[in-house]
Amino acid sequence: MATFCMQALGVDVSAINTVNFSNHTGYKQWKGDKTSPEMISQLYEGLSQSTLVDFDVLLSGYIPSADALKVVVKIARDLKLKRETMNPGAFFWVLDPVMGDQGRLYVSEEMVKGYKKAVSGGMEGPDLVVPNGFELELISGVHLAGGDTDQDGGELERRPTGDNYEASLEKVREAMEVLHQRDSVRMVVVTSVRIKGKQQEGVLCVVGSEKKSDGSSRCFTVEVPVLDCYFSGTGDMFAGLMVARLREECSKAGTLRNRGWASDDQVPSTELPLAKATVTVLSSMSTVLEKTTDAKNREMHKYDHSNRRASVDPQDAEKQRQEEVDERMLFLAQTKAAEVRAVRNARDLIHPTVRYEAKEL
């Protein structure tokens, strides 16, 4: 998904796949394997031998193991060193710390520690981090719904981050300032947060910040409507579009040669290239996801009329098993119908109608 979104916007991409699955994990069943750390290292070595590592940007997304994460971090730092030596300010690392959502980890606790270490890399670390709300809690140590901050680096108490979870904007700002000040991360965009008082309005908040030279935050928010559909891959979609749009906005602002594409301290939060890129990305995504939802509803309407069986007697064991099969087939049909229609709606990625605005926090 991320690769297609970048290519649709004219970005040349060299992709190293960290997994080779028959389908994504949203189906709860798949075939294939994970790319080993050794293979990732060998692929990068092959690119280096052919002098094919003159990249401007690295986007790192889902990584299957702690050892593979160590290799990716090593590659990122090697690319930064090479590019900074030849052309200071020419390299930018976007890190999507894919760990979990809705209060549930997709990865091991070792991965959480690995991402915390990667984010704390200082000048060698990522320039932009794009976590969801749960992932921001994990890497910052700040409970977004209130409560004590994890100052000692211990494991966060697992708190619910589903439909009943409501964060506060003050805590989101606090978490981003931790990344700015403790870890020297220049830019952060939290891709989806349910904010107290907004959930009842059917609104999600995307919150971004670029730090000033003194480490303080410049925060903005963008409110987007919640769609009544579960999608897989929207995080990849956001990160891929952000790579292209942020570079585009920084080029317009003349900041591409600044270290970390940094803006002057005087630039207000809503005028930052990061804020402008976020608005454009969310406008594209909302249009594509709305069209996906409409297509999914049409497909499931047909499925409901052609494939669903008549109700069965729950006391009948054989029929009960058939009911379980029907439920599984319905889930798979719903998952397939909700596949994001990015390719057939590429025009909305390339020429979006701007639908939102960034507001200063």
Tell me if the domain spanning 2-294+337-360 has CATH number 3.30.1300.10: no
Distance CA 122, CA 352 (A): 35
What residue has token string 């805590």?
A: 171
Full-model pTM: 0.90
Look at residues 241, 205, 207, 197 and name the one whose alpha carbon lies nearest to residue 226: 205
User: pLDDT in tens for each of the 361 residues of the chain?
Assistant: 899 999 999 999 999 988 888 888 788 888 888 999 999 999 999 999 999 998 999 999 999 999 999 999 999 999 988 877 777 667 899 999 999 887 888 899 999 999 999 999 877 899 999 999 999 999 999 999 876 555 544 444 545 545 556 889 999 999 999 999 999 999 999 998 888 777 667 899 999 999 999 999 999 999 999 888 888 889 899 999 999 999 999 999 999 988 889 999 999 999 999 999 999 999 999 999 999 999 999 999 888 755 555 555 556 666 667 778 888 888 899 999 999 999 999 999 999 999 999 999 9
**pLDDT recorded at residue 153:** 46
Give the residue extent of every domain in the chain. 2-294+337-360
Q: Which segments of 20-160 does DSSP mark as H helices, in order?
A: 37-49, 66-86, 109-119, 133-140
Distance from chain centroid for Cα 112:
15
